[in-house]
């Protein structure tokens, strides 16, 4: 059975809410920061869904180890989610395209 893109909401060990965006292939393409409330976490998901269509919502960066990653920014320029580390810039760009393709219509599963 094929998987579908989805946001999953979970609570971490500190009791904060976090979301992951998982692509249809099962790979996590975006992970959030911690939120104090479920409502704030849901608002973060909504922000990603709205803003990911604009290329300007993505901040492309390079870690000290030379690997590439990106962050999705809310309209107020706060980081809403961050990608994994990629060895190649082209792979990071593929990750951005995955967020753009998967986030807008992804279902939200509350697993908290």
Reported as a single tens digit per residue, the pLDDT across 33-85 is 999 999 999 999 999 999 999 999 999 999 999 999 999 999 889 999 999 99
Q: Domains of the chain (ranges plus CATH)?
A: 6-110 (2.30.29.80)
91 in helix, strand or coil?
A: helix
Chain segment 7-25, per-residue pLDDT in tens: 999 999 999 999 999 988 8
Question: Going by C-beta distance under 8 Å and a sequence separation of 6 or more, which residues neighbour residue 84?
Answer: 28, 29, 31, 69, 95
Q: Once rounded to an integer, what is the mean pLDDT over residues 99-107?
A: 92
17, 10 Cβ separation under 8 angstroms: yes
Residue 101 has pLDDT above 50, yes or no: yes
Question: Where do the DSSP E strands lie in 16-112?
Answer: 17-22, 28-32, 58-62, 68-73, 79-82, 107-110
pTM, two decimal places: 0.90
Helix (H) or strand (E) holding 43: helix 38-51
Residue 2 has pLDDT above 60, yes or no: no
Say what the pLDDT of residue 3 is. Answer: 77
């Amino acid at each position: 059975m094929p998987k579908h893109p989805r946001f999953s909401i979970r609570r971490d060990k500190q009791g904060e809410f976090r979301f992951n965006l998982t692509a249809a292939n099962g790979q996590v393409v975006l992970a959030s920061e911690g939120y104090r409330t479920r409502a704030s976490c849901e608002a973060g998901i909504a922000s990603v869904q709205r803003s990911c269509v604009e290329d300007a919502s993505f901040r492309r960066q390079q870690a000290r180890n030379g690997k590439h990653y990106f962050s999705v920014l809310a309209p107020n320029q706060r980081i809403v989610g961050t990608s994994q580390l990629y060895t190649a810039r082209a792979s990071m760009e593929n990750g951005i395209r995955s967020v753009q393709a998967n986030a807008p219509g992804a279902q939200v599963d509350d697993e908290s």
